Amino acid sequence: MFDMLIDGGAAGGESRIPVISPVTEQVVAEVPDASAADVDRAVAAARRAWAGWRYSAYPQRRDVLVAMSRVVAENAAELAALLVMETGRPIAVAQFEVGLALQFLDYYAAQQIGPEVLIDDDARRVELRRLPLGVVAAIVPWNAPLYLAVNKIAPALMAGNTVVVKSAPSTPLTTARFGALVADLVPAGVLNILSGGNATGVHLVGHTDVAKIAFTGSSQTGRQIMAAAAPTLKRLTLELGGNDAAIVLPDADPAAIAPALFGFAFFNSGQVCAVIKRLYVHDSLYDAVCEAMAAIAGAVTLGDGGDPALQLGPVQNKAQFDKVQAFLADARVHGRIIAGGNVPDRPGYFIEPTIVRDITDGTMLVDEEPFGPVLPIIRYSDVDEVVARANRSPYGLGASVWSSDVEAATRVAGLIESGTVWVNQHCALDPAVPFPATKQSGIGAEGGREGLYAYTAVQTVNISKGQ
Ligand code: NAD
């Protein structure tokens, strides 16, 4: 039984939505579809709870996060199994996500915000304080349901806010179970967890008592949420879509980097905002990299995530499955598929890991975000020109540069317009490191101290010493 968490108690809701396994296409569970009244109740509870929680001492907040971390660690196997059930992903990927959630809980449990003294002279003392905002609406997508909820909950609570989470309609199970596990560890109303469809999200982000929206999802929904925030000028953190370029410089070693390039493009079947989505390879290495990547892709096993030997699971839901197939159709027309390209004849939303070569900028697969297991490899001959091509995207989430010469790669990295640039790696996340979004990939950053400050309002207190 999967319930919601509202005002410290389990809530069943009036109607329920089915959760479909992407492996079997069968209904595996049902969850409440939060109504407008459920949203109102959760926001009201969060608002009431904020009256006390905003003044709670850091040790109390820390103890809550530490207790959450302990319970997640104790139940890691069950949470990972639920992630596998709702996403079909390999168990190792599910365990990685639970581990990442734990890292964020532990990192933020150790953070505090103290007043900063800006001026302290004979005439005055000026302090900068960072105060909590109030009720935070945390809206989560389906590709990393537990991690993307926890990386909002942990800093928001630590900064003294209360939270209403809404999980994605196709992946509500792990988040609901997390809510049940932590219900008794948090004062009633401080953390509320809702499940429901897009309409639940619409009502939540439009609620006048929500002070801040922390949203991860598509750029299209991000724009709608920004508009919904306007009437009451809600604070926003938006982590949206990406179309990360990886640039392989001429001195890289194709055989050495191909396994890492493949891993960082196809992790979670490509359903990660910041995996490699456009691979630019210098002319001199182009054939070697294409061949190495195709050989790896051809040897991958697809299947049900419960199998420990499994490398890739399915696409998470039917809508995304259909969308990725449109990218495959485009790739067939504008490029040459050298590995994969097929939908296996079996139930489930499976797509073979697909490598596409001889494709150029200006095509759907290169310019847009497939969010699935299809990677274009694009040829270039001049480094300045490829940097310009990488920067031409409306997105600016992540990017990477690959080279045997780390200094040269780091210089190129500095020219790229994205929130993160990795060198000889990609999508390396760490709770202490902000993950900023630029351009149409979003606004603000999650992670690190910036991710904590994002849940606060700056106040200056200016004290005259004249009296
Ligand atoms: P989505 O935007 O369709 O949905 C995300 C969430 O928003 C869901 O919970 C959904 O129910 C809710 N929602 C939908 N419409 C809403 C509205 N008008 N108001 C309020 N809530 C609404 O995204 P998705 O398809 O679930 O996720 C895939 C996208 O997420 C990809 O574009 C991916 O790049 C992006 N993403 C970004 C990051 C990042 O950190 N930048 C991380 C993961 C995924």
- Joined tokens for residue 25: 């296409």
Atom 20 (ligand 1): residue with closest C-alpha?
201
Query: CB 329: neighbour CB atoms within 10 A?
Result: 12
Residue 266 C-alpha from the chain's centroid: 16
Atom of ligand 1 minimally distant from the CA of 169 = 11
Q: Separation of 149 CA from ligand 1 center, angstroms? A: 12
Give the SS3 label for residue 63. helix
Using most ligand atoms within 8 A of CB, pick from 19, 86, 139, 207 the residue to mutate for ligand 1. Answer: 139
Tell whether the model's pLDDT for residue 307 goes beyond 90: no
Tell whether the model's pLDDT for residue 306 goes beyond 80: no
The radius of gyration of the chain from alpha carbons, rounded to an integer in Å, stands at 23
Catalytic pick among 97, 273, 368, 446 = 273
Tell whether the model's pLDDT for residue 180 goes beyond 80: yes
The mean per-residue pLDDT over the stretch 318-329 comes to 98
Q: Kindly report, residue by residue over 12-50, the tens digit of the pLDDT.
A: 989 999 999 999 999 999 999 999 999 999 999 999 999
Burial of 345 (0-12, 13-18, 19+ CB in 10 A): exposed
Which pLDDT value is given to residue 311?
87
The mean per-residue pLDDT over the stretch 114-128 comes to 97
Instruction: Assess whether 385 carries a catalytic annotation.
Output: no
The answer to whether residues 429 and 269 touch, using CB atoms and an 8 Å cutoff, is: no
Atom 30 (ligand 1): residue with closest C-alpha?
217
Q: Kindly report, residue by residue over 334-388, the tens digit of the pLDDT.
A: 999 999 999 999 999 999 999 999 999 999 999 999 999 999 999 999 999 999 9
Which pLDDT value is given to residue 33?
98
Atom 16 (ligand 1): residue with closest C-alpha?
198
Which pLDDT value is given to residue 248?
98
- Joined tokens for residue 403: 């080279």
Atom of ligand 1 minimally distant from the CA of 196 = 11
Task: Classify strands 278-282 and 245-248 as parallel, antiparallel or unpaired.
Answer: parallel
The mean per-residue pLDDT over the stretch 239-259 comes to 97
The Cα–Cα gap between 106 and 128 comes to 26
Confidence tier at 305 by pLDDT (50, 70, 90):
confident
DSSP assignment string, 74-94: HTHHHHHHHHHHHH---HHHH
Which pLDDT value is given to residue 6?
98
Which pLDDT value is given to residue 326?
98
Which conformational region is residue 447 in: left (phi greater than 0), alpha (psi within -120 to 50 degrees), or beta? left
pTM of the model: 0.97
Atom 14 (ligand 1): residue with closest C-alpha?
198
Catalytic pick among 239, 352, 369, 446 = 239
Q: Separation of 233 CA from ligand 1 center, angstroms? A: 21
Please list every protein residue whose CB sits less than 6 Å from any atom of ligand 1: 139-143, 166, 168-169, 197-198, 201-202, 205, 216-218, 221, 224-225, 239-242, 273, 369, 371, 397, 437, 441-442
Q: Separation of 316 CA from ligand 1 center, angstroms? A: 13
Atom of ligand 1 minimally distant from the CA of 320 = 25
Q: Separation of 432 CA from ligand 1 center, angstroms? A: 24
- Joined tokens for residue 274: 């910041």
Distances from the Cα of 104 to the Cα of 40, 110, 446, angstroms = 29, 10, 11
Which pLDDT value is given to residue 124?
97
Tell whether the model's pLDDT for residue 145 goes beyond 90: yes
Confidence tier at 209 by pLDDT (50, 70, 90):
very high
Q: Separation of 434 CA from ligand 1 center, angstroms? A: 20
Mean residue pLDDT of the chain comes to 97
Tell whether the model's pLDDT for residue 308 goes beyond 80: no
Q: Separation of 227 CA from ligand 1 center, angstroms? A: 15
Instruction: Assess whether 368 carries a catalytic annotation.
Output: no
Which pLDDT value is given to residue 313?
95
The mean per-residue pLDDT over the stretch 286-300 comes to 97
